A and B are shown apart, each in its own frame.
Chain A
Amino acid sequence: MTPELAKTLSHGMRRIRTVEETIAERYSDQEMRCPTHLSSGQEAVSAAIGAVLRPSDLAVSGHRAHAHYLAKGGDLNAMIAEIYGKVTGCARGKGGSMHLVDEAVGFMGSTAIVGGTVPVGVGLAYSLMLNETDDIVCIFLGDAVVETGVFHESLNFATLKNLPVLFLCENNFYSVYSPLSVRQSHMRQIHEKVSGFGITTEDGDGNDVAAVHEIVSRTVAGIRDGNGPAFLEFSTFRWREHCGPNYDDDLGYRPDQFIEDWNAREPIGLFESQALAEGSLTQDDIDALQSGIEDEVKAAFEFAKASDFPPASEASEHVLAASMMGSLK
């Protein structure tokens, strides 16, 4: 691996980790007053796809979207301000942690209803197809999305029209406290079920950022070449409670061995120890990356805290648009 790529991947993961862990640390200040789903432990998939997508590609996501937004290039200050409910937030405080948007970098929106943005992503891909670009849409989704009707209907349409769309599934084996085993048949893995649509599928270790990067690079290139939609499934592990800043493994809903195995394969350490050994990263590189990130994150929280709340009059605004708002291109 080139030193440039190694730095990009390390930086991408560390930046997400630092943001999420800082939110966790400060959540108890009671100033971030909204449901918040953190991605600590799940940084690798986002960092890898972030290194492959370009700003003109589009992305949508769901409730656990901080990592996706950041990887796509979303503005950090605007995200933290949104979680603090400030007018400088990416949705002016209207939506909070679960409703992130930064169209300037192609992050078209994340929403809070499971599966809700999957068909929206396919519709965006339809518009890209009509516009004859070689940009693609990345739809981030969790393992529970696979259970929704709209997911299957969207896959059908995406394959029917051969659309430039990547369905990117982070399978962390849980939906809230519910393991996959009470939600989906164990007869087929997720990617095997999806392959029945005739779509390109592949699966991989979502904590191995180099492996994810290799798969997504190849897959995205294929979509750009007109090969049609693809579905990728990466297994990974959420550190903290489903929603909120704490650890909740005392509740016993995930087996001890499962937790231990995944903790042993923490994505940043896993990648950097390898990169250090092969010489694509040095400890100085890592220290410099981390200290830059810490300054940036500190500044983002300062920005959010110093920002104003939206004026009360905005509560009733934005119900109906008065004119056509800016559309893509």
Chain B
Amino acid sequence: MQSFANEIRDGLDQALAEDPTVLVFGLGVPDPKGVFGTTLNLQEKYGEKRVFDMPTSENAMTGIAIGAALGGFKPVLTHQRLDFALLSMDQLVNNAAKWHFMFGGQRNVPITIRMILGRGWGQGPTHSQNLQSWFAHIPGLKVVMPALASDAKGLLLSSIYDPNPVIFLEHRWLHNAQTDVTTVEPIPLGKAKLLREGDAVTILSVSYMTIEALHAVDVLQQQGINCDLIDLRTVAPMDWPTIEQSVKKTGRLLVLDTGFKSFGIAGEIMAHVTETCWSSLKHPPARLTAPDYSESTSPALTKDYHVRAEHIASKIGEMMETSVSVEPILSQRGPAHDVPGNWFTGPF
């Protein structure tokens, strides 16, 4: 068995081994904890010139990654929280995303920016933001959000070898997830994955929401409701053909996102489906997302902040106009709501 974090580490290891132009840097990359285990021992293996720590200078280091890319390298820059990468929005949006466009297609910028999405244990307003829609809104950026440990490595390799800037978003609560399947081949970006099949509702999910959705779908199946569960894997570009095909079959759409509700990924998908699948729809498209306010620190204020499997199951019951029991989901819940498992005891 391999963890999600190990898969990321193996992906970086493989890229560094097979391509001498790959560079890996970020705060804490060579430190004893190795960014939640994802960069352990890489500096020892590939040297300080290719794998290095950096100053707390997120904006400059992003520009430096762009420059190194123009100089022939493939940098992978890592941020321990997406929130820290917000300092680099200028370099990302005005330079990385535009370089190919604003110089008439002469050059491309093959950089990968890993950002970790925090949640729970009092991460609070500035350590827990899921701003995938910001990046997806910018023409010229790709946005990848792996959910399954078995996809992490393949998606990372494709991101590293993609000719464009790729934002690679890893949910902190996935790092400990396990897999026994390991892909060696890159997984093409822009390809969603059908995880469960059914004709009741099309469920589209990303990142950690896919884990909650899997619980919900399996419990619903025991109650005779079968759903298509599609893990998007890539948010930009979106796999519209797979989405449209499923919605045309089921006539019902439920989108799950970890980000704020308004102006988000879910809203964009609902709009697209309304435009392209209107005549197939049997029910208004629906979404379950984080609310339109920040995550607080106090555990008393985060209990109902995040969408859980029981919310998904209830919503599907509502869409199918049938009653479903969420009891099997509730009875399986072990740890407190603000930790990914009992193994987590803080502080970060």
Judge: A and B partners, yes or no.
yes
Q: Interface residues, chain A, CB within 8 Å of chain B?
A: 27-28, 30, 33-36, 85-86, 89, 91, 93-99, 111-115, 144-145, 147-150, 175-178, 182-184, 243-245, 251-253, 309-310, 312, 314-316, 319
Is B300 positioned at the interface, with any CB of A under 8 Å from its CB?
A: yes
Question: Which residues of the partner chain A approach B28 to less than 8 Å between Cβ atoms?
Answer: 176-178
DSSP class of A's interface residues: helix, strand, loop or mixed? Answer: loop
Please determine whether B297 and A95 come into contact, CB atoms closer than 8 angstroms.
yes
Q: Does B54 contact A (CB under 8 A)?
A: yes
Proximity string of chain B (173-195) to chain A, C-beta cutoff 8 Å, 1 when within and 0 when not? 00000000000000000000000
Closest to A94 in B: B296
Asked if residues B345 and A252 are in contact (CB atoms below 8 Å), the reply is: no
Interface string of B281-292 (1 = CB under 8 A from A): 000000000011
Determine the chain B residues whose CB is within 8 A of the CB of A310 once the complex forms.
298, 300-301
Q: How far is the CA of A262 from the CA of B50 in the complex (A)?
A: 33
How distant is the Cα of A261 from the Cα of B19 in the complex, in angstroms? Answer: 44
The closest CB in chain A to the CB of B121 belongs to: A33
Cα–Cα, bound, A315→B27 (Å): 32
Query: How far apart are A83's CB and chain B's nearest CB, in angstroms?
Result: 9
Rounded to whole angstroms, the CA-CA distance of A111 and B83 in the bound complex is 12
In contact, A85 and B53 (Cβ under 8 angstroms): no
Q: What is the bound-complex CA distance between A111 and B86, given in angstroms? A: 15
**Which residues of chain B come closer than 8 Å to A113, judged between CB atoms?**
83-84, 86-87, 126
State in angstroms the CA–CA spacing of A147 and B87 once bound together: 13
Is there contact, CB below 8 Å, between A177 and B56? no
Give every chain A residue within 8 A of B52 (Cβ-Cβ).
Answer: 182
User: Measured between C-beta atoms, what is the minimum distance from A122 to chain B in Å?
Assistant: 17
Are B302 and A183 in contact, CB atoms less than 8 angstroms apart? no
Q: Let me know if B126 and A149 touch, CB within 8 A.
A: no
Residues of B within 8 A of A316 (CB): 291, 293
- Contacts A177-B28, A183-B55, A315-B296 given: A35-B303 contact, CB under 8 Å? no
B contact residues around A312 at 8 Å (CB): 300-301, 303-304
List of B residues within 8 angstroms of A85 by Cβ: 122, 297-301
Kindly state the separation between the CA atoms of A84 and B291 in the bound complex, as whole angstroms: 24
Shortest C-beta distance, A115 to chain B (Å), equals 7
Minimal Cβ-Cβ distance residue in A for B90: A149
Given the known A-B contacts A34-B122, A310-B298, are A114 and B56 also in contact in the complex, defined by CB atoms under 8 Å?
yes
Number of interface residues of B (CB under 8 A): 44
Supply 17 further A-B pairs (C-beta < 8 A) apart from A27-B347, A112-B126.
A28-B345, A34-B122, A34-B297, A85-B297, A91-B297, A93-B296, A113-B84, A145-B56, A147-B55, A147-B57, A177-B28, A177-B31, A178-B53, A245-B347, A310-B300, A312-B301, A315-B291
Contacts of B163 in A (CB 8 A): none
Would you list the 8 A-B pairs with minimal beta carbon distance, nearest first? A34-B122, A85-B298, A93-B298, A96-B297, A309-B300, A177-B31, A147-B55, A244-B347
Residues on A with C-beta less than 8 A from B125 are 94-95, 99
User: A247 → chain B, closest Cβ, in Å?
Assistant: 14
Contacts of A98 in B (CB 8 A): 124, 126
Q: A147-B57, A177-B31, A316-B291 are in contact. Are A93 and B83 (CB under 8 A)?
A: no
Q: Is B74 an interface residue (CB 8 A)?
A: no
**Contact B123 A175, beta carbon cutoff 8 Å:** no
Q: Which residues of chain B have a CB within 8 Å of any CB of chain A?
A: 27-28, 30-33, 52-57, 59-60, 83-84, 86-87, 121-127, 291-294, 296-305, 338, 345-348
Question: Which B residues are in CB contact (< 8 Å) with A27?
Answer: 346-347
Task: Please tell me if the beta carbons of B124 and A99 are within 8 angstroms of each other in the complex.
Answer: yes
Min CB distance B235 to A, Å, is 24
Smallest CB separation, A152 vs chain B (Å)? 10
**Complex: A159 Cα to B86 Cα, angstroms:** 27
Please measure, in the bound complex, the distance between the C-alpha atom of A150 and the C-alpha atom of B292, giving whole angstroms.
29
C-alpha gap A174/B250 in the complex (Å): 56
Judge whether B345 and A34 touch: CB under 8 Å.
Answer: no
B347–A243 touching, CB < 8 Å? yes
Is B348 a contact of A244 with CB atoms below 8 Å?
Answer: yes
The reply to whether B298 and A183 form a contact with Cβ atoms under 8 Å apart is no
Q: Please, which residues of chain A bring their CB within 8 A of the CB of B300? A: 85, 93, 309-310, 312
A62 to chain B, nearest CB (A): 11
How far does the alpha carbon of A144 sit from the alpha carbon of B121 in the complex, in Å? 25
Give Cα distance in the complex from A178 to B294, angstroms.
30
Report B29 CB to chain A, min CB distance, Å.
Answer: 9
Complex interface: chain A residues within 8 A of B345 (CB): 28, 30
Output the nearest chain B residue to A250 by Cβ-Cβ distance: B32
Instruction: Tell whether, in the assembled complex, residue B32 and residue A251 are in contact, meaning their CB atoms are under 8 Å apart.
Output: yes
Are B127's CB and A176's CB within 8 A? Answer: no
Query: In the complex, what's the smallest C-beta–C-beta distance from B77 to chain A, in angstroms?
Result: 15
Give me 20 A-to-B residue pairs in the complex whose CB atoms sit less than 8 angstroms apart, sorted by A's number.
A28-B345, A33-B299, A35-B348, A85-B297, A89-B298, A94-B296, A96-B122, A113-B83, A113-B86, A149-B59, A176-B27, A177-B31, A178-B27, A178-B31, A243-B347, A244-B348, A252-B32, A253-B32, A309-B299, A312-B300
